[in-house]
Amino acid sequence: MHMLQELSWKVGGQQGEGIDSTGKTFATSLNRMGYFIYSYRHFSSRIKGGHTNDRVRISTVRKNSLADELDILLAFDQETINLNAHELREGGIVIADSKFSPVLPDNVAQNVHLYSIPFTKLAEENGAAIMKNMVALGTSAYVMGLSPDFCAPVIQNMFGRKSQKIVDQNMAAIRAGFDAMSGQNADFSSFQLAPATPDHHLLMIGNEAVAFGALSAGARVMPAYPITPASDIMEYLIKKLPSVGGVVVQTEDEIAALNMTIGAAYGGTRALTATSGPGLALMMEAMGLAGMTETPVVIIDTQRGGPSTGLPTKHEQSDMFAALFGNHGEIPKVVLTPSTPEECFYATVDAFNYAEKYQCPVIILTDLALSLASQSVTPFDYNYVEIDRGNLATPEALAAVEPGKMFKRYERTEDGISPRVFPGQKGGIHHVTGVEHNEIGRPDEATNNHIKMMDKRLNKFADIELPGSISYNGDNDPEVLVVGVGSSVGAIDEAVTRLRNQGIKVGHAQVKVLSPFPAKSLQEYMNRAERVIVAESNATGQLFHLMQLHGLQHKAMTSFLKYDGTPFMPKEVEAHLKGAVPAWQQ
Partner 1 sequence: MATVKEFRNEVRPNWCPGCGDYAVQAAIQRSLGSLNLEPEQVAVISGIGCSGRISGYINAYGFHGVHGRSLPLAQGVKLANRDLTVIAAGGDGDGFGIGMGHFMHAARRNMNITYIVMDNQIYGLTKGQHSPTSAFGFKAKTTPAGNIENAVSPLQIALAAGVTYLAQGFSHDVNQLTELITKGIQHKGFSLINVFSPCVTYNKVNTYEWYKEHIVPLDQFPEYDPTNKKAATTKVIETDGLCTGLIYEDNDRPAFEDLIPGYQPTPVADLDIHITQDQFEKFMSEFA
Find the binding residues for partner 1 in span 289-348 (CB under 8 A): 289, 293
C-alpha to C-alpha distance for 448 and 227, rounded to whole angstroms: 43
Measured from the CB atom, the residue of 356 and 494 that comes closer to partner 1 is 356
Q: Does 382 bind partner 1 (CB under 8 A)?
A: yes
Measured from the CB atom, the residue of 398 and 504 that comes closer to partner 1 is 398
Q: Could you tell me how many residues of this chain bind partner 1 (CB under 8 A)?
A: 71
Q: Does 373 bind partner 1 (CB under 8 A)?
A: no
Among 285, 436, 465, 479, binds partner 1 (CB under 8 A): 285
Rounded to the nearest whole angstrom, what is the least distance from the CB of residue 430 to partner 1 in the complex? 8
Q: Which stretch binds partner 1 (CB under 8 A): 106-114, 201-209, 300-308, 495-503?
A: 201-209
Q: Does 215 bind partner 1 (CB under 8 A)?
A: yes
Binding mask 403-422 for partner 1 (x = CB under 8 A): -x-----------------x
Q: Does 246 bind partner 1 (CB under 8 A)?
A: yes
Distance set, CA 472 to CA 300, 542, 569 (Å): 25, 20, 20
Q: Which of 288, 366, 291, 294 is nearest to 326 (CA)?
A: 288
Among 221, 274, 369, 492, binds partner 1 (CB under 8 A): 221
Among positions 135-154, residues that touch partner 1 (CB under 8 A) are none
Among 128, 387, 464, 580, binds partner 1 (CB under 8 A): 387
Rounded to the nearest whole angstrom, what is the least distance from the CB of residue 202 to partner 1 in the complex? 4
Q: Are 374 and 205 in contact (CB under 8 A)?
A: yes
Q: Are 56 and 42 in contact (CB under 8 A)?
A: no
In terms of C-beta distances under 8 Å and separation of at least 24 residues, what long-range contacts does 232-237 make, across chains too? 232/205, 232/207, 232/208, 232/371, 232/372, 233/207, 233/274, 233/300, 233/302, 234/274, 236/207, 236/208, 236/211, 236/212, 237/211
Among positions 5-44, residues that touch partner 1 (CB under 8 A) are 31-32
Q: Is beta strand 88-97 parallel, antiparallel or unpaired with respect to 113-117?
A: parallel
Measured from the CB atom, the residue of 105 and 242 that comes closer to partner 1 is 242
Rounded to the nearest whole angstrom, what is the least distance from the CB of residue 245 to partner 1 in the complex? 4
Rounded to the nearest whole angstrom, what is the least distance from the CB of residue 351 to partner 1 in the complex? 15
Q: Which stretch binds partner 1 (CB under 8 A): 62-70, 160-168, 195-203, 510-518?
A: 195-203
Rounded to the nearest whole angstrom, what is the least distance from the CB of residue 243 to partner 1 in the complex? 6
Determine the Cα angle at 104 with ends 101 and 107, to 5°: 160
Rounded to the nearest whole angstrom, what is the least distance from the CB of residue 309 to partner 1 in the complex? 20
Among 190, 228, 391, 425, binds partner 1 (CB under 8 A): 425
Concatenated DSSP letters for 528-542?
A: T-SEEEEEESSSS-H
Q: Are 289 and 295 in contact (CB under 8 A)?
A: yes
Q: Does 281 bind partner 1 (CB under 8 A)?
A: no
Measured from the CB atom, the residue of 75 and 256 that comes closer to partner 1 is 256
Q: Does 249 bind partner 1 (CB under 8 A)?
A: yes
Is the peptide bond preceding residue 379 cis, with omega within 30 degrees of 0? Answer: no
Measured from the CB atom, the residue of 2 and 200 that comes closer to partner 1 is 200
Q: Is 561 helix (H, G, I), strand (E, B) or coil?
A: strand
Cα separation of the two ends of the chain: 42
Q: Are 431 and 421 in contact (CB under 8 A)?
A: no
Residue 91: which region, alpha, beta or left (left: phi > 0; alpha: psi -120 to 50)?
left
State the CB neighbour count (10 A cutoff) for residue 462.
10
Q: Does 442 bind partner 1 (CB under 8 A)?
A: yes
